[in-house]
Amino acid sequence: MNSPSHLPVHHTDTPEQHPTAPTKRHHSARYYAHRVKESLTTRVSKLICAIFLSLLLIIGIITFILWLSLRPHRPRFFIHDFTVTGLSLENGFESAQIVFNATARNSNLNIGIYYDAMSGSVYYKEQKIGSTPLLDSYYEGPKTTKVLTAALSGATLNIDRQRWMEISNERSKGVVVFRLEITSTIRFRISAWDSKRHVMHANCPVSVGSDGMILPSSKDLRCPVYFT
């Protein structure tokens, strides 16, 4: 007798499994018309956005150029000469005189500057020792320069014997340092428009030698300008 392990095995043939071919979808004419419409809408939207961004960029560039050309620049002040007469004399304070020469420059191309009354003050060790009017109200056109000259003496120069001794002691070291401050209230004129008023200060540090003459290091020096 044959054991069960030797019984013949019968295989049942099954049909071969083949992948199902994708079914080709057929779209209607309405579907394709909708797709074309969506594509045109997207293109038009992109074109409008590109035009808008281009216009925005052009406007920004034009605005920046106008801002650069119309932005007011502060007036420029330069100290050219500063002399203290009688500095080498022991009692020179009795006849002392300070003479200075400065310039105010409007460097703007299309902007004028209106100045109210302008004054000049001289300081020694941050103590005012003299002051004098420089100019009445005036208008300074674009790219123009105004010469500012003054002489302080007598009532406009307040130096007593003690102050003169301090100046003389510093003179013995070869250099005496003063400060010229020019002040005015200004406003800018752009075409027919005037800006608000600004209180302007131009600070000109100046050094003189033992002879009372301005030193080369201070000559033609540009003075810092600030508003309050």
**Residue 88 maps to which CATH number?**
2.60.40
User: Of 38, 55, 71, which residue constitutes the final position of a domain?
Assistant: 71
User: Do residues 33 and 143 share a domain?
Assistant: no
**Tokens representing residue 58 in the block:** 């052009």
Do β-strands 176-190 and 193-194 pair in parallel, antiparallel, or remain unpaired? antiparallel
Q: How far apart are CA 99 and CA 213, in angstroms?
A: 10
Q: How far apart are CA 111 and CA 142, in angstroms?
A: 6
What phi, psi does 112 have (nearest 5°)?
A: -95, 170
User: Do residues 155 and 125 share a domain?
Assistant: yes
User: Do residues 143 and 57 share a domain?
Assistant: no
The total domain count for the chain is 2
User: Do residues 143 and 209 share a domain?
Assistant: yes
**Residue pLDDT tens, the chain, 228 long:** 444 545 555 555 555 555 555 555 555 666 656 666 667 778 778 888 888 888 888 888 877 666 656 678 999 999 999 999 988 776 777 788 999 999 999 999 889 999 999 999 999 999 999 999 999 999 999 999 999 999 999 888 988 888 888 998 899 899 999 999 999 999 999 877 888 999 999 999 999 999 999 999 999 999 999 998
User: Do residues 167 and 207 share a domain?
Assistant: yes
User: Do residues 63 and 119 share a domain?
Assistant: no
User: Do residues 59 and 109 share a domain?
Assistant: no
SS3 127: strand
Domain holding 47, by residue range, is 28-71
User: Do residues 133 and 194 share a domain?
Assistant: yes
User: Do residues 91 and 187 share a domain?
Assistant: yes
Q: List all residues 6 or more positions away from 171 whose beta carbon is below 8 Å from its beta carbon.
A: 87, 88, 210
User: Of 44, 71, 98, which residue constitutes the final position of a domain?
Assistant: 71
User: Of 10, 38, 71, which residue constitutes the final position of a domain?
Assistant: 71
Residue 180 C-beta-side C-alpha neighbours within 13 Å: 35
Residues 180 and 204 sit within 8 Å (Cβ to Cβ): yes
DSSP string, 40-72: HHHHHHHHHHHHHHHHHHHHHHHHHHHHHHHSP
User: Do residues 188 and 119 share a domain?
Assistant: yes
Q: How far apart are CA 44 and CA 116, in angstroms?
A: 59
User: Do residues 111 and 222 share a domain?
Assistant: yes
User: Do residues 99 and 208 share a domain?
Assistant: yes
